Chain A
Amino acid sequence: MLIEGFGQEGQERLAGARVTAVGLGGLGSPLAIYLAAAGVGRLTLCDYKEVDAPDLNRQVLHWEGDVGRAKADSALEKLRALNPRIRIEVIKDPVSRENVRGLVEGSDVVVDCLDNFDTRYLLNEACVGLGIPLVHAAVEGLRGQATTVVPGKSPCLRCVIPVAPQRKAVFPIIGFTAGFLAMVEAAETVKLITGVGETLAGKLLVADLGDNSYQVLETRKNPDCPTCGSR
């Protein structure tokens, strides 16, 4: 690959890296495909749900014939076929306060592909506690946001979004919105591992594909943050 500062060394760094992605839905599917294709050496993928027919518009790792199967199994099969040279593990347990640290421990980067903030805050806490970079994105309709947390250096997810958006029972997501934000997450992950480029640490990307407004805002650490305030 001929990208400034990337080359053989960058590829080797990817091969030596372990990335944990939590969620194998609209964000997690394209993310996992691109990280597997990029040659990230070890992928740990977590999802406890089964494939449902309405998921298929955006969860591109899961196909018509996978409806009813565990997303983790469906993902594992496709990704192994895509890149048999990398190590892929799947975890089918829901993320909880009890298991979250064990789940992310040993990862070089954790990627948030979740669909709710309760679990996101658990992931954020564990990553801040263990000093592991966390890449966040979320989507709804034609909109999304993304940021990267580098513990000790940047604001954490709770500094940037201190109050969880209200949970809606059903919300529309168009496939390409999830794909767009998943690619931002893939780029952040590869940049964190290889050191190429600039990340969204200390920044929040707010994207609206409806009117093509893409804003990168500066973010600040909250000194009283319940998660990272004393760090």
Chain B
Amino acid sequence: MIRIRFFAGFRDEVGKAEIEVEPRGGATLGELLEGLKENYPGLGKVLEEGNAIFALNQEVVEANTRVKDGDEVAVFPPVSGG
């Protein structure tokens, strides 16, 4: 399984702190999340804004990174205030 954790505002948008999904051979992180949009419409908004930070196993990566069984994904919104 691949564990996807949502943080901060994204948690409210998606409606869940964590989703577990079956790995699909060769899928990228972006493809994996796109595939979840139907069941979690809030995820569409998160992806559309285009500014999410994706971390794969504690490392910041781009959405085109491939994911595999056992991976842990985290999705954060960066903030901009000061």
Genuine A/B complex: yes
Report A's interface with B, CB cutoff 8 A: 23, 25-28, 112-117, 120, 137-141, 143-145, 160-161, 163-167, 171, 173, 178, 204, 206, 208, 210, 213, 215-220, 222
CB-CB under 8 A for A217 and B58, given A161-B53, A166-B51, A204-B53: yes
Which residues does chain A contribute within 8 Å of B55, judged by CB atoms?
Answer: 215, 217
Whether, in the assembled complex, B27 has its beta carbon less than 8 Å from a beta carbon of chain A, the answer is: no
Q: Are the C-beta atoms of A218 and B79 separated by less than 8 Å?
A: no
Q: Give which listed residue, A112, A161, A204, A208, contacts B8 with CB less than 8 A.
A: A208
In the complex, the 3 A-B pairs of residues with the closest C-beta atoms, listed nearest first: A140-B79, A115-B82, A218-B59
| Pairs across A and B, CB under 8 Å, 29 listed | A23-B82, A112-B82, A114-B82, A115-B80, A115-B81, A115-B82, A116-B80, A120-B80, A137-B82, A138-B81, A141-B79, A143-B8, A145-B76, A160-B60, A161-B51, A161-B78, A165-B77, A165-B80, A166-B49, A171-B81, A208-B7, A208-B8, A213-B7, A215-B58, A217-B55, A218-B58, A219-B59, A220-B59, A222-B62
Would you give the shortest CB distance from A167 to chain B, in whole angstroms? 7
Q: Are the C-beta atoms of B79 and A145 separated by less than 8 Å?
A: yes
Q: How does the 8 Å CB contact mask read for B4-25 relative to A, with 1 for contact and 0 for none?
A: 0001100000000000000000
Report B's interface with A, CB cutoff 8 A: 7-8, 49-51, 53, 55, 58-62, 74, 76-82
Q: Are the C-beta atoms of A143 and B82 separated by less than 8 Å?
A: no
Would you give the shortest CB distance from B49 to chain A, in whole angstroms? 6
Which residues does chain A contribute within 8 Å of B74, judged by CB atoms?
Answer: 215, 217
A117 to B78, CA, bound (A): 11
A144 to B38, CA, bound (A): 30
Q: Pick from B8, B77, B80 the residue with the most CB of A within 10 Å.
A: B80
A114 to B58, CA, bound (A): 27
Main secondary structure of the interface of B (DSSP, over half): loop
Which residues does chain A contribute within 8 Å of B79, judged by CB atoms?
Answer: 138-141, 143-145, 165
Nearest residue (CB) in B for A166 is B49
Q: Give which listed residue, B8, B51, B60, contacts A219 with CB less than 8 A.
A: B60
CB-CB under 8 A for A138 and B78, given A163-B51, A164-B51: yes
A167 to B79, CA, bound (A): 9
Q: Are the C-beta atoms of B60 and A139 separated by less than 8 Å?
A: no
A160 to B7, CA, bound (A): 17
Would you give the shortest CB distance from B53 to chain A, in whole angstroms? 7
Which residues does chain A contribute within 8 Å of B49, judged by CB atoms?
Answer: 166
Which residues does chain A contribute within 8 Å of B81, judged by CB atoms?
Answer: 26, 115, 138-140, 171, 173
Would you give the shortest CB distance from B14 to chain A, in whole angstroms? 16
